[in-house]
């Protein structure tokens, strides 16, 4: 086991740090039934959350692998395991709620997707409880679908949180609906915002990580993380809209899995029954030992052949640590080729060295059996591995783990193991976002320019990996965006493919030399021999923006996000979205991304007091693809 990174000079087997397992930066959370409703009780914010209680994991193992929603869901499940769910009748005291409308007007061709009037601040009288303000003002991490003029964008949102004070028991979240959405019925000009319903209003909790898809009948499906009806176990849930996203029905439980995280949805025609659409949901299931330590993760699949009414689930890949490959996977991204029904599932298999490996499973029988695609790359750990080094600086996010991140501003100091602790930071992952059509399969991924993981001097680029023959062979990786002195970092790409598989559109974030971020979009084209040709790059966001104060030092051993419901170092989210219609107007694309151009004013007693950027969701139309031959 080795690493040449100077930050990781200690043995990785010894270098065990706090796993990223919680959005909530408060201590001693429990679940209690009050007035027949499950609530999430919180301490008085006197101490930092002790992530060690949920099990340590090595830097190349469990640290930071959970998504933001998965951390919150895991935190909730741990509280459920400790709680006896005592049923009480008690009168709650509401805090003072102030809504914070930061002027949601359109800015040129970029339009704000989320309703800013839903953001709010809750404070409580010191005579009741001494605690800092609760600021709920984060929206990011987008997934989107389009059906002509109808567009729906899902995103993580803290604005769906409600908190009350219960005398004798303290503060409690009575509502935590992080699975937000906005719908437009005029092609993205105007938007209405809401939250997908949970399984039960008696346990009003959803944990985000949205993934949206449509079937050929125009139904919209929204998958995310949630709980069961009793608020005891974590689940994957799915909501369905039959009215173009104006409303969503109550959530249906796909599977109960207390280790579940980072689910993703694909819908495609069945290979043997072409008139039937199958729903495929993949996710990561984290495995814990008897002491609660995270020791590995598995790739799972749930399939529905009846329009999402019922699902069957199974394990697709359970890695074993062999010294080079680790026992952890994450970030799956299933896609279906509509012309054949072939299902591709790329995902990231973490290694114990610097480069992790993208692997791709493929099924030609509707998800019943699978095989790995071969890349045959010289020097890779095996024929089925595509090596990739995740970009970013290793940053100490305390309760949020030690994370690869984009950072800005000055190091606050005091980080564990000599690592920096930047206040302005946003977590980075390497999810291979994929698309498939008419025998063309491709994925895009962000890659460090250094072979050393966490190299603070490295830039990052976007690479496209393309097969024009259904995955039998792959072209050499195509560099979509290169690191330069003016634009050193390029991260979190998303890929959209035209109906015949000839045109590729890739959106991504760029961090400029001045440390501000923007979004760009690149156009690629496949020629008759399957070679990737570069067409042009265009600006997507029309203004650059700063990172938010997401990792503010409170004590020598604790940091916090300005938004008290969100984990440290969480800002723009972990993916963005491009959406085009499945059936018609497929060349018209709309983009949606996390964007910090607008400001938020934190109260004087906030750790981030004053005016600073806040995370919102913005959208824009993307130039149509050229006509396909």
Reply yes or no on whether the pLDDT at 152 is more than 60: yes
Task: Taking residues 73-88, report their average pLDDT.
Answer: 76
Q: What is the pLDDT of residue 584?
A: 60
pLDDT digits (tens, 9 = 90+) for 429-470: 999 999 999 999 999 999 999 999 999 999 999 999 999 999
Between the two ends of the chain, the Cα-to-Cα distance in Å is 50
Reply yes or no on whether the pLDDT at 83 is more than 90: no
- Dist. CA 41–CA 129, nearest whole Å: 14
CB atoms within 10 A of CB 623: 13
Q: What is the pLDDT of residue 585?
A: 65
Q: What is the pLDDT of residue 49?
A: 32
- Dist. CA 141–CA 574, nearest whole Å: 6
Quick one: tokens of 103?
Answer: 């002027």
Q: What is the pLDDT of residue 22?
A: 31
Q: Are 115 and 193 a contacting pair, CB within 8 Å?
A: yes
The pairing of strands 87-88 and 30-34 is parallel
Q: Using DSSP, state whether 70 is helix, strand or coil.
A: helix
Reply yes or no on whether the pLDDT at 485 is more than 50: yes
Give, in order, the Cα–Cα distances in Å from 19 to each of 55, 61, 74, 224, 292: 7, 9, 11, 21, 12
pLDDT digits (tens, 9 = 90+) for 510-543: 999 999 999 999 999 999 888 999 999 999 999 9
Q: What is the pLDDT of residue 183?
A: 98
Task: Taking residues 19-31, report their average pLDDT.
Answer: 41
Q: What is the pLDDT of residue 106?
A: 45
Reply yes or no on whether the pLDDT at 603 is more than 60: yes
Q: What is the pLDDT of residue 64?
A: 58
Q: What is the pLDDT of residue 543?
A: 96
Percentage helix, strand, coil, to 5, in the chain?
Answer: 5, 45, 50
Confidence of residue 43 (pLDDT cuts 50, 70, 90): low
Which of the residue ranges 37-51, 446-460, 598-612 would you say has the lowest mean pLDDT? Answer: 37-51
| 24 half-sphere exposure, CB direction, 13 A CA radius | 27
Tell the burial category of 84 from Cβ atoms under 10 Å away from its Cβ (0-12, 13-18, 19+): exposed
The residue among 343 and 57 whose pLDDT is bigger is 343
Q: What is the pLDDT of residue 168?
A: 81
Q: What is the pLDDT of residue 102?
A: 58
Reply yes or no on whether the pLDDT at 507 is more than 70: yes
**Average of per-residue pLDDT values in the chain:** 88
CB atoms within 10 A of CB 11: 11
Distance of CA 427 to the CA centre of its chain: 10
For the chain, the domains span 6-100+107-286+327-592+610-622
Q: What is the pLDDT of residue 170?
A: 86
pLDDT digits (tens, 9 = 90+) for 358-408: 999 999 999 999 999 999 999 999 999 999 999 999 999 987 888 999 999
pLDDT digits (tens, 9 = 90+) for 218-263: 999 999 999 999 888 999 999 999 999 999 999 999 999 999 999 9
Q: Are 301 and 345 a contacting pair, CB within 8 Å?
A: yes
Q: What is the pLDDT of residue 294?
A: 86
Q: What is the pLDDT of residue 24?
A: 33
pTM metric for this prediction:
0.93
Q: Using DSSP, state whether 113 is helix, strand or coil.
A: coil
Reply yes or no on whether the pLDDT at 50 is more than 90: no
Which of the residue ranges 33-47, 87-101, 261-275 would you say has the lowest mean pLDDT? Answer: 33-47
H or E element that contains 74? helix 68-82
The residue among 330 and 96 whose pLDDT is bigger is 330
The percentage of residues in the chain with a pLDDT greater than 90, rounded to a whole number, is: 73
How is residue 244 annotated by DSSP? T
Q: Are 22 and 71 a contacting pair, CB within 8 Å?
A: yes
Task: Taking residues 536-551, report their average pLDDT.
Answer: 96
Q: What is the pLDDT of residue 628?
A: 62
Q: Using DSSP, state whether 80 is helix, strand or coil.
A: helix
pLDDT digits (tens, 9 = 90+) for 88-125: 787 788 888 887 765 544 445 899 999 999 999 999 99
Residue-by-residue DSSP string for 490-555: EEEEEEEE-TTS-EEEEEEEEE-TTS-EEEEEEEEEE-TTS-EEEEEEEE-SSS-BPPPB-SEEEE
Which of the residue ranges 103-112, 297-306, 497-506 would you say has the lowest mean pLDDT? Answer: 103-112
pLDDT digits (tens, 9 = 90+) for 116-151: 999 999 999 999 898 999 999 999 999 999 999 999
Task: Taking residues 547-561, report their average pLDDT.
Answer: 93
Confidence of residue 300 (pLDDT cuts 50, 70, 90): very high
Reply yes or no on whether the pLDDT at 46 is more than 60: no
CB atoms within 10 A of CB 539: 13
Q: What is the pLDDT of residue 624?
A: 74
């Amino acid at each position: 086991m080795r690493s040449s990174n100077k930050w990781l000079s200690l043995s990785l087997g010894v270098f065990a740090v706090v796993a990223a397992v919680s959005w909530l930066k408060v201590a001693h959370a429990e679940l209690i039934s009050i007035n027949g409703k499950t609530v999430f009780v919180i301490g008085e914010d006197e101490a930092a959350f002790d992530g060690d209680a949920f099990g340590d994991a090595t830097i190349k193992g469990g640290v930071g692998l959970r998504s933001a929603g998965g951390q919150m869901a895991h935190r909730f499940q741990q509280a459920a395991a400790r709680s006896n769910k005592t049923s009480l009748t008690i009168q709650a005291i509401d805090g003072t709620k102030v809504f914070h409308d930061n002027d949601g007007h359109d800015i040129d061709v970029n339009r704000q997707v989320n309703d800013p009037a839903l953001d709010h601040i809750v404070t409580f009288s010191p005579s009741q409880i001494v605690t800092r303000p609760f600021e709920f003002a984060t929206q990011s991490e987008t997934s989107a679908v389009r059906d002509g003029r109808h567009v729906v964008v899902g995103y993580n949102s803290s604005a769906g949180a409600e908190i009350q004070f219960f005398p004798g028991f303290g503060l409690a979240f009575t509502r935590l609906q992080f699975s937000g959405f906005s719908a437009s019925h005029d092609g993205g000009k105007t938007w209405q915002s809401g939250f997908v319903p949970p399984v039960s209003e008696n346990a009003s909790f959803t944990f985000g990580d949205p993934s949206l898809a449509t079937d050929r009948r125009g139904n919209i499906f929204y998958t995310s993380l949630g709980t069961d009806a009793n608020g005891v176990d974590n689940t994957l849930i799915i909501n369905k809209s039959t009215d173009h996203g104006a409303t969503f029905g109550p959530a249906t439980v796909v599977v109960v899995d207390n280790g579940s995280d980072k689910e993703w949805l694909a819908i495609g025609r069945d290979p043997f029954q072409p008139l039937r659409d199958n729903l495929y949901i993949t996710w990561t299931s984290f495995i814990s030992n008897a002491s609660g330590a995270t020791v590995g993760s598995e790739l799972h699949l749930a399939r529905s052949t009846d329009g999402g009414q019922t699902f069957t689930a199974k394990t697709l890949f359970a890695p074993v640590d062999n010294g080079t490959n680790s026992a952890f996977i994450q970030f799956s991204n299933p896609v279906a080729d509509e012309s054949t029904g072939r299902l591709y599932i790329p995902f990231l298999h973490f290694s114990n060295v610097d480069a992790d490996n993208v692997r791709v499973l493929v099924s030609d029988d509707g998800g019943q059996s699978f095989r790995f695609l071969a890349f045959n790359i010289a020097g890779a750990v095996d024929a089925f591995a595509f090596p990739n080094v995740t970009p970013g600086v290793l940053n100490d996010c305390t309760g949020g783990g030690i994370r690869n991140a984009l950072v800005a501003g000055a190091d606050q100091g005091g980080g564990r193991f000599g690592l920096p602790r930047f206040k302005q930071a946003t977590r980075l992952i390497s999810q291979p976002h994929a698309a498939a059509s008419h025998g063309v399969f491709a994925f895009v991924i962000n890659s460090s320019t250094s072979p050393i993981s966490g190299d603070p001097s490295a830039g990052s680029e976007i690479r496209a990996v393309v097969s024009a023959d259904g995955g039998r062979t792959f072209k050499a990786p195509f560099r979509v965006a290169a690191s330069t002195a003016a634009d050193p970092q390029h991260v979190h790409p998303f890929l959209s493919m035209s109906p015949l598989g000839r045109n590729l559109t890739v959106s991504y974030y760029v961090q400029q030399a001045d440390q501000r971020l923007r979004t760009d979009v690149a156009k690629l084209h496949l020629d008759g021999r399957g070679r990737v040709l570069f067409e042009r790059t265009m600006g997507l966001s029309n203004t650059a923006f700063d990172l938010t104060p997401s990792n503010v030092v409170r004590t020598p051993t604790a940091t916090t996000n300005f938004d008290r419901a969100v984990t440290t170092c969480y800002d723009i989210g972990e993916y963005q979205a491009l959406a085009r219609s499945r059936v018609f107007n497929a060349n018209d694309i709309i983009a949606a991304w996390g964007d910090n151009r607008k400001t938020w004013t934190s109260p004087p007693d906030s750790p981030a007091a004053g005016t600073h950027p806040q995370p919102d969701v913005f959208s824009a139309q993307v130039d149509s693809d050229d006509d396909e031959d």
